[in-house]
Structure 1
Amino acid sequence: MLTTRFTALFGIEHPIALAPMGGSAGGALAAAVSNGGGLGLLGAGSAKDPAWVEREVEVLAGATDRPWGAGFQCWAAPVRVVEQVLERGPAAIMLAFGDPAPYLPAIRRSGARLIVMVTDLAEAHGALGAGADVIIAQGTDAGGHGGSRGTIGFVPVVADLAGEVPVLAAGGIGDGRGVAAAFALGAEGALLGTRFLATPEALTSPASEKAVLEGGSEDTDRSSVFDIAHESGWPARWTGRALRTPFSDRWRGHEDALRADPEVRAGFRAAEQRGEPDASVVWAGESLDLVTDLVPAADLVGAIARETAEVLAQVSTQGGYRPL
C-alpha cells in the first residue's frame, strides 16, 4: 500500500482517484472505485439535470461506506445542486473550469474537502487562494475538456507551487507506470478517467465501449467542434479531447463556419439522438492505447496500485524500470 498525503487526507488505500467524467462516471462507477480503495468521484458536470445527479448520488451513497465525492464544472453548475450533494456527506467536492468562489461557503460548512483541478498556472494560483485541500494538475493529454499544457511539464511546476498541498497528476495516465511517473514528477497520486471507461460500471454505451477498446490515442483530437455542434456553452478556452469522427475531421479548422450554420448543428444533434456512429462523441485521452480489456473498476484500482508499487520498487532497486 502506497501512503501519501492524499491517501492520508481521505483515509483511503490507494493514491488513485476517478476522474468525474460527465456521462460516464455515474454512481455505480464512483462507488466501485471507492470500494477498490481509491477515491470515486461522481461526474456531476454542469448539473443541468439535477434529477440525474440526485439519482446517481443515491446509487453511490448506497453502494459504498468508503469516502467518495462529486465533481462539478464551475462555469455552469448551480450552487443549489452542489449543496444538495453536500447533504449526502461526500468526503470531497471537486471543482474545475471556472471560479470556485461561489461554492466555497457551502463546501466549508459541510466539512467536505475541496479539490480543484487546474489547467494552467493562473488557475493553480487561484486554487491555492481558494484554500484547496488537493490540487489536480491536468495536462492536455487528458480526455474531455482541458487546456494546452503537457502533463509531464505541468505537474512539477504545480507541485512546486503547491508546497504542502497534495497534488494529483492527470492526463495520459492509464496504468501503474503512469502513476509511478506522477510520483517522480512530484505528485502524490493520479486522477484517471479514460481507463475507467472500459469497466462494466461505467455509463458507457456498447458502441462507445467498443470504440474505446478498439481506438488508440492517435485517433483522438482536441478541438471545440463537438462543443459548437452541441451548443453546449463551453468556454472556448477549454477545448475537448475526443475520438475523431468524419464530422469532427470535416469541421476542425472551420469552427466559425460551423457556428454560422444552425442547420448543420441541428442535423448533428438529431443524428446523435438516433445513435449514428458519425455523431457519437466519445471523450477519451492519450492513454487510450492502454485500454484493451473490460475490467471491473474495483479490480482495476487494485491492479494499477500493485503495478505502481512494483514499478517504483524496480526503479529503486535496479536503477531503472524494466517491463514486468
Structure 2
Amino acid sequence: MLRTRLCDVLGIEVPVIGAPYGPYEQVDLAAALCGAGALGSLGTAVRPLADLRRQWARMRELTDRPFAINHTLRPLNEEAFQATLDERPAAVSFHLGVPGDLIKRAHDAGILWIQQVMDVQQAEQAVGAGADVIVAQGGEAGGQGGEVATMVLVPQVVDIAGDTPVVAAGGIADGRGLAAALALGAQGVAIGTRLLASVEMDVAAEWKDRIVAADARDTVKLQHSDRFMPPFSRPGGYAFPRSLRTPFLDDAEAHPERLQPAEAGPRIVGAVLEGRGHEFLPFTGQSAALVHDILPAAEIVRRIVDDAATILRRTADTYTRSTPR
C-alpha cells in the first residue's frame, strides 16, 4: 500500500482526498472514502446551516475517521464557518482565495487547513499563511478553478511549498494519475470527477451517466459564469468553472447579456437544492474521458492506489534494467 507524508499529516492510510462538491449531498460518499483509508470531504456552499449540522451529525454516526469540511469565498458564510470550527473536523479545506485570518482561526481551534490553489501566487500566499496541506488544482479539473495545467502547476507549487505536503488535483482519475503526481513531487491526489461517478455520490443518475459517456472535449470552461454564479465575499477572487454542456450554459456563453444575475443565480441555487442542479450546471472535469463505469467509492480508491503502486514498481524495475552498470 502506498503511504506518504500526507497520510501522517492528515491521519489517513492512503494519499487520496475526496473533493468537496459544494452544496451537493455527499455524506455517504465521504464516509465511504474515510472507510477506505482516504480523506472524505463535505461541502457547505449555499446550504442552510441546519442542513449542514444534520450532515455533520450523520457523518459522525457513519465514521470516526478524519474528514474535512470545505468553505469558499464564493461566498463565505461566516455563520457556517464558525459552526465548522465549533464542530472540530480534522481539517477545513478552502478554495477560491487564501484567507490568512481564517487559517489562523482554524489553527487556534486545533484544526488543520487544506488550501487549494490555482496558480503560483496563491501557492506563495498559502505557504506564507501557514496552510498545512496545499492542493495544486490544474485547469483540467471540474468545478471552479483556474487555467494552468496540472502537469505545469504541481512542480511549481512543490518548489514553493518546502515541507508542506502538496496534493495534485485536476485530470486525475486512475492509478496512472496518482503515480504521475508522486513523480512530480506531490504527496497525494484529490479526486473529483471520478468520485462523482460513484455509487455513493448522491447526484442524479443522468449526471453520472453523462460523465461515463463523456470525452475530455465534452467539458468546457465557462467564461461568463459571473453572470450566474454567487459573488465573491472578498476582492481578488477569480475562477472559471468547467462543466458538461447544457442548454442553459450554451445560451449563457453565447449570449451572456441575456442573463439577469439577480434571477439566474437564485434559479440555479434552487435547482441544486432540489436535486436538479445537473440540468443547469453539471460540473465535470476532463478526466471524465478516463471514467468508464460507476463503482463503489472504496473500490475506486483501492484500484487507484494499487494500480499506482504497480506502475511505480514497474517503472523502477524498467529503469534499473535499462541503466548501464
Per-residue CA deviation, residues 160-217 of structure 1 (Å, 9 max, x unaligned), is 0001110000000001100110011110100010000111211211221222222222
- Does the alignment pair 1:18 with 2:23? no
1:250 aligns to what?
251
1:95 aligns to what?
94
Distance 2:288 2:93 in 1: 24
In the TM superposition, structure 1's runs of 4+ consecutive aligned residues that sit over 6 Å from their partners are: 273-278
2:306 aligns to what?
306
2:124 aligns to what?
125
1:7 aligns to what?
7
2:199 aligns to what?
200
Per-residue CA deviation, residues 75-130 of structure 1 (Å, 9 max, x unaligned), is 42223312222333311111111242342343112211111000011111111111
1:32 aligns to what?
32
1:152 alignment partner, SS class: helix
Unaligned runs of 5+ in 2: 321-325
2:41 alignment partner, SS class: strand
State percent identity of aligned pairs. 35
Per-residue CA deviation, residues 126-165 of structure 1 (Å, 9 max, x unaligned), is 1111100110000000000001111100100000000111
Unaligned runs of 5+ in 1: none
Q: Quick one: which amino acid aligns to residue 300 of structure 2? A: L
1:14 alignment partner, SS class: coil
- Does the alignment pair 1:161 with 2:167? no
1:232 aligns to what?
230
TM-score, length of structure 2 as denominator length: 0.88
Give the length in aligned residue pairs. 316
Distance 1:270 1:129 in 2: 34
Distance 1:308 1:298 in 2: 15
Cα distance change of structure 1 residues 32 and 275 upon mapping to structure 2, 3 Å threshold: closer
Cα distance change of structure 1 residues 99 and 215 upon mapping to structure 2, 3 Å threshold: same
1:147 aligns to what?
146
Q: Quick one: which amino acid aligns to residue 251 of structure 1? A: A
Cα distance change of structure 1 residues 301 and 267 upon mapping to structure 2, 3 Å threshold: closer
Cα distance change of structure 1 residues 223 and 83 upon mapping to structure 2, 3 Å threshold: same
Q: Quick one: which amino acid aligns to residue 155 of structure 2? A: P
Distance 1:236 1:100 in 2: 11
1:291 aligns to what?
291
Distance 2:266 2:250 in 1: 16
Alignment root-mean-square deviation, CA: 2.6
How far residue 64 of structure 1 moved from its aligned partner, in angstroms, is: 0.8
Distance 1:141 1:123 in 2: 18
1:146 alignment partner, SS class: coil
Per-residue CA deviation, residues 240-290 of structure 1 (Å, 9 max, x unaligned), is 0000123323332543x1346877x48975995898899432100010012
Cα distance change of structure 1 residues 206 and 80 upon mapping to structure 2, 3 Å threshold: same
Matches within 5 A, 1:171-186: 171-186=170-185
